[in-house]
Amino acid sequence: MSSVELEQRITVAEAWAAADIDPAGRHATRSLIARAREGQESAITELIDAFSGRLAFGTAGLRGKIGPGPRRMNRVVVSQTSAGFAAFLTELTERSGALHMDPPSVVIGYDGRTGSAVFARDTAEVMAGAGVRVYLLPEPGPTPLTAFAVRHLQVSAGVMITASHNPPADNGYKVFLGGADQGAQVAPPVDAEIAAHIERAASGAPVMLPRSRDYVMLGGGVADAYVAETASAVLRGLPADPKRPGRALGDDTDLKVVYTAMHGVGSEIARRVFLSSGLPTVTVVAEQDAPDPTFPSLEFPNPEEPGALDLAFRTAGDLDADLVVANDPDADRVAIAVKAPPRATPAVTRGYRQRPRNVANQYRRLTGNELGLLLGWRAAERETAAARIGARAPQGTLACTNVSSPALRAVAEAYGLDYVETLSGFKWVSRVPRLLFGFEEAIGYLTHPGHVRDKDGISAGADAIAMVRELRAEGRTVWDLLDDASELFGHFASSQITLRFASMTEATELSARVRELRPTEFGDIRVERVRDLLTPGEAPVPANVLRYDLEGGSRVMMRPSGTEPKLKVYLDTFSDVGDAAERRTAAEAALARLESAVRGTIDGLRL
């Protein structure tokens, strides 16, 4: 960048600082300008990026690094976004003809990340100043609580200040809609309408946005209702003990459970749900139980990341626990881990990948697809039992995103249920008609769509605990249940390649190079069909997803992440020949060959 172009960016940054409503933000911008003028390369790079364009509002709302500038999360961007969203809600209410009766309304929640509480208050004040009736949740809480509150309070919309499992430097602004949307995330074309209103709101000076403190600070009633309704849904779904009429299977079985909130906001409300559901008292990972925006014990606050569960495994090893349950920081996702199959048992030959045994890895985390299969199967069983009692046929839909394992299709077919694959994101999964259960491979599960229309790591965690308890009552393990699934539905093996980049642009560019290459094979595996979801008609809305259906039933899916600078590649193989062990071995071997071939193709494009 030339000195003239740099000065132009500095001029923009100076104007931003002059209009910033946040004293800390003004100081941060001016400090960045000073360092850039001194020639610090890192400051120049940051200034150029932060003041080139605007943080885009999409179907995940906003999510980005905290800092000064229109391409960062800060009080100005949050205030402008809130003004635009308020204008959209007002227009929506006017179109419905209801404005003369009631103004639009919104409930606002926030997590424990840096800036979340301040951003939530800014959102409340700006939206109240725009004439929206505002309810603010009283303390940091999980994302599923805000999604629940939209339906519980019967408001027009919800806002959740969170960056979920993103790195500590990030924050975000997530939007739900009420009414017919029932608290689901926004989806196209509504996201574009909201974005247009935000652009108009951002054209004026932030200080001119009207603000009001005339909003309702809620008490604990919403959380109490969430706990009661979630526990009730879990209890209704528990299978009966055939030997003890009126009792749930396994409710008298001892089970040692370790729980981690990963420095997030899930612990208190999750433990309340578990207790109200009659589940075992959990032992928390003390170092990670309280919200801490610095996430000191984690490199990435995501249960899927290598090493993220090491503290939980250490606690479980000390306790000799049966199960580890981990919510991500805003508790909309859940992961579970159980004791790994011992080397001396036949389970070792079934394709389970194990590291050398030590205290930390006596436990193995189930993949998102494995838990999705088991919870989806559980939902099918639950519906079958309800249908039997009601003297009717099972009905409803199992759904997952198109990059998740196709195993759920086999479950739906076996139980006479409908099956739907959606685009990535719970904005699509939650909108599937007659939904019984939905999941995404990134450890997101919707087990009880009757009261929350978004992924909910707390209710899914409760169902997982109940499932493991029932297995223990029968003298069985999760590994036994997965073998049962392989016998019934065939064995589906899945893996994922995640490539990290310095920017979202780099991930998108690599995806474009693969699209241009049009590979006809991966290694020695021939591509039978290519689907490019950017092609009109291939998806409900164009999506940057490439799908390769391969000979032998294998599949490769590729897409840039919508929230982080990553390219994600999803691999699936299948076998239904032989017994469970033989099916597992064949599918895992095919998966290893496919992963090696795909990595080779991608590495060639990155050179």
Q: Which residues are catalytic?
A: 164
Q: In degrees rounded to 5, what are phi and psi of residue 284?
A: -85, 155
3-class secondary structure, 72: coil
**Beta carbons within 8 Å of 82's beta carbon, 6+ residues apart:** 122, 123, 126, 127, 130, 159
With beta carbons less than 8 A apart as the criterion, state whether 337 and 365 touch: yes
3-class secondary structure, 304: coil
Residue 224's CB is within 10 A of a number of other CB atoms, namely 12
With beta carbons less than 8 A apart as the criterion, state whether 279 and 306 touch: no
With beta carbons less than 8 A apart as the criterion, state whether 153 and 107 touch: yes
Distance CA 535, CA 531 (A): 8
With beta carbons less than 8 A apart as the criterion, state whether 252 and 170 touch: no
Distance CA 85, CA 72 (A): 18
Half-sphere exposure of 46 (CA within 13 A, CB side): 21
Q: By C-alpha distance, which of 12, 130, 33, 41 is closest to 81?
A: 130
3-class secondary structure, 605: helix
CA 512 to chain centre: 25
Distance CA 581, CA 346 (A): 9
- Amino acid (1-letter code) at residue 594: L
* Residue 212: both structure tokens together: 């009001």
Crossing angle of the two packed helices 23-37 and 41-50, in degrees rounded to 10 = 130
* Residue pointed to by tokens 């795909």: 598
Instruction: Compute the chain's Rg from CA coordinates.
Output: 25
491-500 and 444-446 as β-strands: parallel, antiparallel, unpaired?
Answer: unpaired
Distance CA 407, CA 306 (A): 25
Neighbour-count burial of 43, counting CB atoms closer than 10 A to its CB (0-12 exposed, 13-18 middle, 19+ buried): middle
With beta carbons less than 8 A apart as the criterion, state whether 71 and 51 touch: yes
Q: In degrees rounded to 5, what are phi and psi of residue 59?
A: -70, -15
Residue 376's CB is within 10 A of a number of other CB atoms, namely 31
List beta partners, residue 499. Answer: 567
3-class secondary structure, 8: helix
Half-sphere exposure of 291 (CA within 13 A, CB side): 22
Strands, E, within 279-417: which ranges?
283-284, 323-327, 334-339, 363-365, 397-401
DSSP conformation letters of 465-527: HHHHHHHHHTT--HHHHHHHHHHHH-EEEEEEEEEE-SSHHHHHHHHHHHHHH--SEETTEEE
